[in-house]
Structure 1
Amino acid sequence: MKKTFSIAALAIAAAAPSFAGNADLAPADPVVAAPAPYVAPGRDWTGGSVGAHLGYGSIDTSVNGVDGDGFLGGVHAGYDYDFGNFIVGGELEYDAADIDLNGVPGSVDSIARLKLRAGADLGNTFLYGTGGAAYAETEIAGTNVSDNGYFLGVGVEQMVRENISVGGEVLYHQFDDFDGSGDDIDATTVAARVSFKF
């Protein structure tokens, strides 16, 4: 009997360490870190820029038979702020134009724009919508005539060097009751752009 009791006691004593402290232990739940917000790889677009552009414009008016098309080009300067996945910026732009109007002795000589643009930061690419105020100067029958209007459009800008980008824009302009004449003028322009960032 003593021998049996001793063997049983030894067996319990040998098994005891494997159970010691295990009664209250449960497997810990894995710690899952909150995902970091996605930020497109590439440059920070925050900063100023200056550049030049060259394009083509098409003019239509509410006067039957009066329209025109031709080349335009100019300079732009602006500032953008990069919020991570979204960019907002402003720009001043000036185009000298060579657009003769058919049906009247006249031409569109220049268009200036005060521009807001906003869109997606895709790393080295900025895809945006734009809009703002426009100011057009024309010459009709030897008289300088000008008026204010607005424009809307879309554009894209691609970094090709550390401080140089290239891009393109399509803009639609509307000038209602141009200089009180009762005539409406709209213009569509397409332009290629190059900018230096600083």
Structure 2
Amino acid sequence: MRISAAAIALLLTSTAAIAADLAPAPVEPVAPVVVPFSWTGFYAGANVGYAFGGRDTVGIHDPAFLGDLGKLTAKGFLGGLQAGYNYQFDNIVVGIETDFQGAQIKDTVHGVVAGEPGRARSDIKWYGTLRPRIGYAYDRFLIYATGGLAYGNIDYKLSYNGASFSDSNTKVGWTAGAGLEYAFTDNLSGRVEYQYVNFGSYTVRGAGTLHSKASPDFHAVRLGVNYKF
């Protein structure tokens, strides 16, 4: 019995030792790989904003210059859609964007020129832009500059010395601005953007030799959201 007990004890000890040798070695946890955010890709979104600071001086000509009726300081609300594409290499982001805005950017001015009363009104009903963009990305923050083509419908009406004339057409000009965008998720981002829009100078003609020079422009601040596909 003593021999049997000793044999059993020896057998159990050997089995425990073999089991210890066969136990798997502890595995060190592997840190997850963090993929840096990239601005590369197509996106689309919406925006709202406010326009202000237009400085369209209304001059009366018949045919010589008679004087300035006043200054149209166009202002009003706007809102629309935008879409574009970004490509990021290192921290530099380049892309192109187009947008289309419905607007109520308008003003009216009254004045007297050469002893005769007059009234002018400008109303920008919609406009759009097509712009390249270049920026610098710091992870999910993007600061950028932009500029390019602008076009819009401008309804211009003027009355002077009993005569009324108007022009309502699509005009082409230019725009420049800058913005800051932040990506809340891999797909959703928000932005604040400033734009200056200028539609150049053109002539609005009335009866005979009566005409005026229009030069509509404005500044705009817009808040927007984008979805990156």
TM-score tier by shorter-chain length is 0.7 to 0.9
- Conserved in 1, the CA contact under 8 Å of 2:197 and 2:219? yes
Q: TM-score, normalised by structure 2?
A: 0.65
Whole-Å Cα distance in 2 between the matches of residues 144 and 118 of structure 1?
Answer: 34
What is the SS of the residue equivalent to 2:71?
coil
Percentage of pairs with the same residue: 30
**CA spacing shift, 1:106–1:175, aligned 2, 3 Å:** closer
1:111 aligns with 2:127: yes
1:150 aligns with 2:174: yes
Whole-Å Cα distance in 2 between the matches of residues 179 and 43 of structure 1?
Answer: 50
Question: Corresponding residue for 2:220?
Answer: 189
Whole-Å Cα distance in 2 between the matches of residues 172 and 53 of structure 1?
Answer: 16
| Correspondence 1:1-198 to 2 at 5 A | 42-58=36-52, 59-63=54-58, 64-103=70-109, 104-141=120-157, 143-178=167-202, 182-198=213-229
Q: Which runs of 4+ in 1 moved over 4 A?
A: none
Aligned residues: CA RMSD: 1.7
Structure 1 portions without partners, runs of 5+: 1-40
Residue-pair matches, total: 158
CA offset digits 1:3-44 (Å, max 9, x no partner): xxxxxxxxxxxxxxxxxxxxxxxxxxxxxxxxxxxxxx8411
Q: CA deviation at 1:179?
A: 6.2
Whole-Å Cα distance in 2 between the matches of residues 177 and 68 of structure 1?
Answer: 15
- Conserved in 2, the CA contact under 8 Å of 1:147 and 1:179? no
Give the aligned residue type for 1:175: F
